[in-house]
Amino acid sequence: MNAPASVRLDKWLWAVRIYKTRSQATEACRGGHVRINGHPVKASHDVKLNEILAARTGHLTKTVKVLGRVEQRVSAAAAKAFAEDLTPAAEYQKAQEPNYQPRFFRPKGLGRPTKKERRKLDLFGE
């Protein structure tokens, strides 16, 4: 398989399975969630070999080194030949920590709950 001369960043992120769809990769680039050397990059950026990029996927920020160019989506095993995962172990631990948030939020100062709100509160207790 011949490596293409240039590959768009959004295609590469999708091909090596950082993002599930190419449109998600494009949106991440547009939103500033993909960075190279600390600077946000566009989806049309040409991927260069040995480039290190950081891509935020949900609560996890993956750090990846480009080992090769690929335009078509490859299997997870084959993706390791094109991208080296440099994400620190602490980042994966952060994703496994429990995220405790209140089940029901009622702003202070709204007075007593209405009958409808009270029924919702009772449902959470069960």
Tell me the C-alpha distance between 52 and 83, whole Å.
Answer: 10
Give the C-alpha distances (Å, rounded to integers) separating 28 from 43, 109, 121, 122, 123.
Answer: 8, 39, 37, 40, 37
Domains of the chain: 9-96 (3.10.290.10)
Q: Which DSSP symbol is given to 65?
A: E
* Grouped pLDDT means (10 residues each) for the chain, 126 residues: 84 96 96 94 95 92 95 94 94 80 77 88 74
Question: Shortest CA distance to 70 belongs to which of 25, 10, 4?
Answer: 4
The pLDDT score that the predictor gives to residue 41 is 96
The pTM (predicted TM-score) of the whole model is 0.75
